[in-house]
Chain A
Amino acid sequence: MKRRSVIIAPAILAATFWGGMAMAQDKVLRFATWDSDESLAIEEAIARKFEEANPGVKVQVEAYGDGYDEKLTAAMGAGSPPDVMYMWNFPAYKDSLMPMDDMIAKDAEAMNLADIPAGLMNISKIEGKTYGMPAGFTTQVVFYNKDMFAAAGAPEPAAGWTWDDLRAAAVKFRNKDTKTYGFAVDAKPDPYDFEQFLWSNGTKYISDDGKTVDGYMNSPEAVEVLTMFAEMIKNEEAVALNIGDDTSGSTLFKGGKIAMFQSAMWSKSGIDESGVNYGVVVLPQFGVKPVHSAIGASAVSIAKDAAEPELAWEFVKFFSSPEAVSMRKNDLPVRTSVAEAQGMTNDPVFKPFFDMLATSNKEIHAFLKNAEWGRIQENLAKAIEATMIDQGNAKAHLDEAVAASARFLQ
């Protein structure tokens, strides 16, 4: 026993010593991300680039994966947040994040905000303060199977098309024997993305002051949107997703079971791999009303209690530099200059994403307007799902959602 401790004690001492040496040498910057696989590899590559440019700095990439929010809240609760982190839910975390406006102003030239579309900057702004820099984004589009359109003798969709056009085309693909449909309607859509249809039809979930849902969420325009999707399911113009079955729309599209699929950048690489001959088109519009898209953006933020605030800012600056932005292949570049340099704005596959962005700067996502949105959204999600299951009754379900949300709006 005694002899063993004689051996162990110096070992511990030595370990402490060497550990201390390493720390004295390297400044460690902790960077947390929710990404995995390819996207994570890209972020690690960006981090390595940053290390090259800043000798003596080590970026520790912490990939929290699916449990991102749980792990991040735990780290914050324990008082040791990562210095820099991926962020989207600004209202929930803003108290723990560092406003960046002063730093952006100081480095205005390097940041060159004119190069970043305003719609992307708006996402990380609360009450006029900027809490994050956008790193990558996606808008929503419709992927369509060119071979299926050719076989059905249907004209391919083009910008400016309407939901009536989509429905008229969708009917042509329905085949009971091969279980083929024209389109897919998700009964459990992410309410965040789904609001784009309300915007496109001239309404929104909640008033801009974040205090009223009655007359918005259950407005005739909202009812019209839900009713339309329910009818598409009923008339078999579209297959219903997520009603007791978790076969995804992208699986069906990749397998040639649906001719049109509404999704975003995150589906693209999978569809590329499947070998489907596809085209991309902007979302359909409601009649002549202008079409809007939800903007899914990931931003990087700095923790208010960051151990290395200056270094953290340097990292964020690098992360949104043209050099780093052009390294990101799994989402779209937030800098117009990078998109143009890579020829994306003229590429038929990428152009619709940017076209959607151009018309989608005007609306603010509901979660930025009300701190209790997360709870209100549960009621809304139930109303959407119930409407799709009933294949109707949109008004009643939305009224119910509005009534159930009243207690969160006081």
Chain B
Amino acid sequence: MANSPAHRRPSRRKARGAGIVPWLFISPWILGFLFFTLGPLMFSFIMSLYDWPVVGARTFVGLDNYTTMLRYDPQFWDSLWITVKFAALFVPLNIILSFGLAVLLNLNLRGTAIFRTAFYLPSVISGVALVTIWSWLYSKEYGLLNYMLSFAGIEGPNWLGDTGWAIFAITIASLWGLGGSMLIFLAGLQSVPKELYEAARISGVPPWAQVIHITLPMLSPMLLFTFITSIISAFQQLTIALLLTKGGPVGSTYFFAMYIYDNAFKFHDMGYAAAMSWVMFLIILVLSMLVMRWSTAWVYYEGEVKKEGGHG
């Protein structure tokens, strides 16, 4: 290109002195961020310090919403525990399954394109349609799932009506949307240099060892990304539970996000709902930070120069 660095430097300096003009160019984004992201964020924090019914007077209550939540509201802990349980099921399964599928699809066998489409398809289906399909599959009397199980001589559980099974039912339905993370892994796999595998093959490294010593390290940035986004989506799980079980049976799938939703729109307690949202935000933030910190031990970035002693 004609623009050598030597050419660009003076013009950049000029831009810095140009005042408002560059800001105007990015102003749509800045305004959007201020009004639709940062503004509501701050507003929700202020809200969380109030007893804020939708109609009627608002009163400042300081940290009351937070103390109520932590000390007097058993439902808060129940919902949090349900959500943690769900995350513990969903996050590892989501990573393992989407990684496994990506590896299989990367083998370039016949029909790969069809399978790739098939596995990704659920990700483009609207959540409501997805839930409707699953509620048919899970039906105890008329469901396809229990019908199939009956061929194997197994009497299927009441997937959505049993307090023990419902959370598994929701986990399975959620995993159906793993197409997105599968695609990320697939893209990652295809960018791994072929020479690495060739060298390994020549040296007689068996295929499983190639996966562990080449594929996994090369894909570690994608693993990290999927890990964090899975945690976030697990904590925010709402649609599927709301539509499939409505939090039941007997509150066994009453997720944290659903409790927030009910507090806001059913009990009209906006302050409490805002406080709970902040608690959820903090939990996700802390978890993500822990994962990020831990990730330096196992994530390998190509082109990154590790400091002494640090290797992937």
Contacts and interface: CB of A to CB of B under 8 A. Distances in A.
A14 interface: no
Given A92-B268, A243-B249, A76 B55 contact: yes
B51 to A, nearest CB: 13
Contacts of B161: 243-245, 389
B250 A73 contact: no
Interface in B151-202: 158-163, 166
B250 A245 contact: no
Contact of A389 (B55, B56, B250, B267): B250
Contacts of A407: 72-73
Nearest to A179: B141
Interface string B116-142: 000000000000000000010011110
Contacts of A179: 141
Contacts, number: 59
A374 interface: yes
Nearest to B248: A385
Interface string A157-192: 000000000000000000000010000000110000
Interface string A210-247: 00000000000000000000000000000000011111
Nearest to A76: B55
B268 A245 contact: no
A interface secondary structure, majority: helix
Contacts of A246: 135
Contacts of B135: 246
| Size band of the interface chain B makes with A | 20 to 34
Given A73-B54, A76-B54, A243-B249, A374 B160 contact: no
A275 interface: no
A93 B54 CA distance: 9
A127 interface: no
B66 to A, nearest CB: 16
Interface of A: 69-70, 73-74, 76-77, 92-93, 95-96, 179, 187-188, 243-247, 374-375, 382, 385-386, 389, 404, 407
28 contacts: A70-B265, A73-B268, A74-B54, A76-B55, A77-B54, A92-B268, A95-B55, A95-B56, A96-B55, A179-B141, A243-B249, A244-B140, A244-B159, A244-B160, A244-B161, A244-B162, A245-B160, A245-B161, A246-B135, A382-B250, A385-B248, A385-B249, A385-B250, A386-B250, A389-B161, A389-B163, A389-B249, A407-B72
